[in-house]
Structure 1
Amino acid sequence: MVESITEVWRQERLHVAPEGQEPKIVGSAFYRGETCQFNPYHGDHAAPGFAERFLLQGWTPTTRFISSGTRITTFGSCFAQHINAHLKMIGFDTARDRDGGVYISLMGEGLVNVHSLLQQFEWALEDTAPPTGLWHGFKAESFGYDEAVRQRTREIFLSTDVFILTFGVSEIWYDEMTKGVFWRAVPMAHFDASRHKFRVASFAETRAAMERILDLIRKHVPEARVVMTVSPVPLVATFRPVSCITANSASKAIIRAALDEVQRERGDERLFYFPAYDAITTLFPQPFVEDGRHFHDFVVPAIMRLFEAFFCDTPLTREAAEAHLRAARLDCVRTLRDHPLYREAY
């Protein structure tokens, strides 16, 4: 694998040629272990199997386990709606189709922080409700702790074969008096500055909430598989006195790091991570339309076809999904070239 050694800036550099990759140049002074994975060079991006080698390596199951008879429950932050829509399109059984009236269906992409997801599991499976006044819909309408809804949510959870959970933001609003966390933000009509406060959820509490979710699933639905994702959709605004771009980076980093540590330390063979966030924010030069939050039409189908090819038992091949991803990335480049900011440069 090592082809030659040169010296650059007083440091030896190894010229290595991993099979099927562009040749790499790396420092020779340090041991890199038995499972070293290189960051792709530009030439690697056009190679067959790019996504499998450089994006999905280590995260996918050995065999596809989602089929037409699999009962799937997917909810969480914004990107959850795209996952649910694609699974429905290819004919799979999602909780939103089984019962559209429970909160995880009505607010399937509106439970934006880790606490809001945990609340649904604790409420449904342990009959433990958070303090009142925290659950509000997209129009600020209130959702109460209806026992019939709780029982129906419990039935959905207990019959689930695969949970797909999407975590979105670390910025949270909470009631200082009760310590309860809101699903999203505080409705203007109910805001009370003396008790409604804002903060950024810490890494420790984020990880603890994820662990609690997984513990509840293992307790009540021990054979269920769990796929965890991070929403690529950025903050629409931050309540911090810093730029939204930097606040969003911190918000996502907390969630991504917590997920990574949870998966590493649990060693659960039924727990998976799907890198939708990593793919969209890294592989597309500009995945969003003018508002900076909604995706170009070609982005989500490319990412969801990757998910389908590696997780779902359908005729879609990995090669076809890879080809679709390459085409979508080219579409992204063409779209970027048409933008007024770049038009003169091209």
Structure 2
Amino acid sequence: MKKTSVLEKHGFAGLNRWPGREQLDHTDSVADYFMHGYSPSGPVISKETGITAFGSCFAGNVSRFLLKKGYKVNAHSWDHNLSDIIRIDEIMVHTPALLAQFEWAFSDKPLGSVFIGSAEEKAQTYHGLEACKTIIKNTDFFIITLGLTEAWYDKKHGQYLWKFVPNKKLDPERFENRFVSFNENLNNLEKIYTLIKQNKPDSKILFTLSPIPLLGSYHGKSVICANTASKATLRAVLHEFLSQKDDENLFYFPSYELVNNYLNSPWKEDKRHITPDTVETIMSIFGQYYLK
């Protein structure tokens, strides 16, 4: 028999209650507690759809899964440690770096400089920059994974860097570590969305929040608390952004919520990366709702 909450007893109908383990073990738990309100009206990705997943290791997991299922996925073999475009380093997955790629691809805005190792260099790519630009322009289904809010800012050039600043180059007069604010993240998502829709009006966009925690924090406080603040900010930004839109081709997939609230043992020993079984489970759920 379904339990009745105190609020329901007092006439508050339509209450979505927090599930216990018993509820999460039910066959309909994913539909009821995770995809409810976020499901597309039907599968929207066919074998002909050009898919590009933007982000680091989690985006790589998405790409490899879709490729294995026979879907048309760009940059599926790229190592995020060796690429600064599309597949990007896990400490670069902030909205300023993501926005810069779309401004470069669709508006020809210069990428600027990045820091790699101990040298200031231009962005490195698996293919030439024009080939990467073509990939972005030819994408039909954009999967954009947000990762973190900590970023280094170059006060001299007035831009966010794409990678961390090596300790020996930590000139406080030039560089500062910033927590990208709620409003700045929200504005960046709006700009990304507008650029894609102006240039690819029929394309579909799906946002996710990476479940992968911060590798580290420069804020001088608990890295676990820093990670909580980072993820909470980005999830709140996504909620606000999606709430403002009435677009049947704009989606949110709750990968973050599934990893942290659905699976019992999702993490490898490092407590940062998810196990192959977790990837398979999460992506199978994605496939159930999105793949034709």
TM-score normalised over the length of structure 1? 0.76
The separation in 2 between residues aligned to 1:232 and 1:145, in whole angstroms, is 26
Query: What is the Cα deviation at residue 40 of structure 1?
Result: 1.6
| Greater relative CO, 1 or 2 (CA 8 Å, sep 6+) | 2
- CA 1:127–1:145: 2 relative to 1, 3 Å: farther
- CA 1:49–1:141: 2 relative to 1, 3 Å: farther
- Paired residues for 1:154-193 under 5 Å: 154-188=133-167, 190-193=169-172
- Paired residues for 1:91-170 under 5 Å: 91-96=70-75, 103-105=84-86, 107=88, 111-130=92-111, 132-133=112-113, 135-136=114-115, 142-144=121-123, 149-170=128-149
- CA 1:299–1:28: 2 relative to 1, 3 Å: closer
Query: What is the Cα deviation at residue 282 of structure 1?
Result: 1.5
2:214 matched to 1:197? no
2:229 maps to which of 230, 247, 250: 250
1:80 maps to which of 54, 59, 67: 59
Query: What is the Cα deviation at residue 41 of structure 1?
Result: 3.2
The separation in 1 between residues aligned to 2:78 and 2:264, in whole angstroms, is 38
2:269 matched to 1:290? yes
CA contact (8 A) 1:66 1:311 kept: yes
Any unmatched runs of 5+ in structure 1? Answer: 1-16, 314-346
Q: CA RMSD, aligned part only?
A: 2.7
2:17 matched to 1:25? no
Q: Which has the larger radius of gyration?
A: 1
CA contact (8 A) 1:102 1:152 kept: no
CA contact (8 A) 2:23 2:29 kept: yes
Query: What is the Cα deviation at residue 67 of structure 1?
Result: 1.6
TM-score normalised over the length of structure 2? 0.89
2:250 maps to which of 271, 292, 308: 271
Query: What is the Cα deviation at residue 263 of structure 1?
Result: 0.6
CA contact (8 A) 2:52 2:74 kept: yes
The answer to which of 261-270 and 91-100 deviates more is: 91-100
The separation in 2 between residues aligned to 1:104 and 1:286, in whole angstroms, is 32
2:26 matched to 1:47? yes
Query: What is the Cα deviation at residue 196 of structure 1?
Result: 1.1
CA contact (8 A) 1:225 1:270 kept: yes
Q: Which residue identity is paired with 1:129?
A: P
CA contact (8 A) 2:144 2:207 kept: yes
Q: Report the counterpart of residue 5 of structure 1 in structure 2.
A: none
- CA 1:99–1:78: 2 relative to 1, 3 Å: closer
- Give secondary structure in 2 for the equivalent of 1:258: helix
The separation in 2 between residues aligned to 1:98 and 1:304, in whole angstroms, is 17
The separation in 2 between residues aligned to 1:45 and 1:180, in whole angstroms, is 44
Deviations 1:238-294 (A, max 9, x none): 111221111100000111110111111112211100000011012234422221112
Any unmatched runs of 5+ in structure 2? Answer: none
Q: Report the counterpart of residue 291 of structure 2 in structure 1.
A: 312
- Equivalenced residue count is 289
Query: What is the Cα deviation at residue 179 of structure 1?
Result: 2.3
CA contact (8 A) 1:84 1:94 kept: yes
- CA 1:98–1:161: 2 relative to 1, 3 Å: farther
The separation in 2 between residues aligned to 1:110 and 1:24, in whole angstroms, is 45
What percentage of aligned pairs have identical amino acids?
A: 31
The separation in 1 between residues aligned to 2:225 and 2:83, in whole angstroms, is 35
